[in-house]
Amino acid sequence: MPVAHTVSAYDDELRWLVRRLSEMGGIGEGMVADSVQALVNADMALAQRVISEDLLLDVAEREIYDRAVLIIAKRQPMAQDLREIIGSIRIASDLERVGDLGKNIAKRVIAVHTMAQPKKLVRGLEHLAELALTQLKEVLDAFATRSPELATSIRERDEEIDAIYTSLFRELLTYMMEDPRNITACTHLLFCAKNIERIGDHATNIAETVYYVATGDQMSSDRPKDDDTANVIATSPGD
Amino acid sequence: MPVAHTVSAYDDELRWLVRRLSEMGGIGEGMVADSVQALVNADMALAQRVISEDLLLDVAEREIYDRAVLIIAKRQPMAQDLREIIGSIRIASDLERVGDLGKNIAKRVIAVHTMAQPKKLVRGLEHLAELALTQLKEVLDAFATRSPELATSIRERDEEIDAIYTSLFRELLTYMMEDPRNITACTHLLFCAKNIERIGDHATNIAETVYYVATGDQMSSDRPKDDDTANVIATSPGD
């Protein structure tokens, strides 16, 4: 039965893409969680491990890209299958970038681990990371179940991450103004916070891809993608 | 002659993608150049214009995505055509993100335009932006001419942008430490610099896509994508 064999091989190829993406998601989540734990505990060994794991995501993204192009060329898929395969390329690219951002946090751990860090702000970062990781976990569930409803609710929740990021940004500026010796550490924490906010954006991108794969329609483009810190004006204590 | 007609319509579709991408590139370049000019001249009207232009790129990206999926479904392209169409989706996504970064710089202009800004550092930013814009222009030429050689040389030059970004980052930290009243403005400039460094990364991403479209092979993955500022440790004058 050559036809049945062909269809089954095709299904295997599609399942391979989904499985590989799910592995990428797991690695990305782990890297982000570990990088923030490394920051909280000044754990250099953990930070180093996160940095070395990034290569796994780079390799996986290339594999998914190559395989997806091959499947399209060989199978000439239509409609939802085609959307799913192209969606896989997009999601792989978002997850690879999530890994980059986790790695960048880990590198900053190494720069700041000997410096005094404001506990309250590090806890704020931890909370921000929990929210972003929840978004990432749920959007991978939304992909696995092809749920446009879940994808929509995930995109809406990104505003909460932006609001917390903006308030952390303000607090970090204030802390820097109070004592210039905090400037280097706080600048690294600012970029860590920005990285986590960007991870939330990537979860939102993935939500939009999931919605498109599931429905064939693109989500409306009215979401505010930019963070609000671009508008923050803090005055120094001396002003 | 239905066959000739079909082929010609198909060619038109492919040309539409290339033309639309080239328009996106022009808009993105303009936004980045204008946002930096707005910063240099504290030009609020120009900053506002950049912010409003971002929508054009969002719309164009969606159009390219929809059209590309449609072309693949209808024409079932093979080999280089398929790589080119999927490459268009990737490049559109990079250019859309370049626009976001330009818009973010423009928003920071509005936050900092009343503050004293270190002229030397703003000039440093201008120089960084010139390099990133050159990369962007050349990579769009590389796409138009399908030149893997040009794509390779563009990727190699990204290190120069990273080096200048790192030196700007250090200078901005020093300036903040010298006078806490500089902290807010310099933090916004730090993020502007980071945005420009990211624009260089997107030019590099596009170079990799161009290489793949032209050759069918992926570039080696050994480029250092991360910036070096994650390792910067600056000590305050008081230490």
Which pLDDT score is estimated for B4? 53
pLDDT digits (tens, 9 = 90+) for A102-123: 999 999 998 888 877 778 889 9
pLDDT digits (tens, 9 = 90+) for B44-79: 999 999 999 999 999 999 999 999 999 999 999 988
Longest CA span, chain B: 81
The complex's ipTM works out to: 0.90
Chain A residue closest in CA terms to B213:
A69
Chain A residues with beta carbon closer than 8 angstroms to that of B66: 218
Of 3.30.499.10, 3.40.1410.10, 1.20.58.220, 3.20.20.70, the CATH number of B2-231 is: 1.20.58.220
For residue B32, what pLDDT band results from cuts at 50, 70 and 90?
very high
Chain B residues with beta carbon closer than 8 angstroms to that of A239: 181
Three-class SS state of B239: coil
- Retrieve residue A206's tokens: 């993935």
Which of A73, A229, A231 has the CB atom closest to B78's CB atom?
A: A73
Average pLDDT over chain B, rounded to whole? 90
Number of Cα atoms under 13 Å in the Cβ half of residue B70 = 12
In a mutational test of the B interface, the residue from A184, A198, A202, A220 whose CB has the highest number of chain B CBs within 10 Å is: A184
Residue percentage of chain A with pLDDT more than 70: 92
User: Is 50 exceeded by the pLDDT of residue A61?
Assistant: yes
Which pLDDT score is estimated for B226? 67
User: Is 90 exceeded by the pLDDT of residue B224?
Assistant: no
User: Is 50 exceeded by the pLDDT of residue A236?
Assistant: no
User: Is 70 exceeded by the pLDDT of residue A235?
Assistant: no
pLDDT digits (tens, 9 = 90+) for A132-158: 999 999 999 999 999 999 999 999 999
**Contact criterion met (CB below 8 Å) for A202 and A94:** yes
For residue B228, what pLDDT band results from cuts at 50, 70 and 90?
confident
Q: Which residue has the tokens 């681990």?
A: A113
Domain locations along chain B: 2-231
CB neighbours of residue B55 within 10 Å: 12
**Averaged pLDDT for residues A42-51:** 96
In a mutational test of the B interface, the residue from A35, A64, A233 whose CB has the highest number of chain B CBs within 10 Å is: A233
User: Is 90 exceeded by the pLDDT of residue A32?
Assistant: yes
Min mean pLDDT across A89-98, A230-239, B46-55, B161-170 is at A230-239
Which pLDDT score is estimated for A2? 47
Chain A residues with beta carbon closer than 8 angstroms to that of B70: none
**Contact criterion met (CB below 8 Å) for B37 and B43:** yes
User: Is 60 exceeded by the pLDDT of residue B140?
Assistant: yes
List Cα–Cα distances, B183 to A221, B42, B207, in angstroms: 34, 18, 36
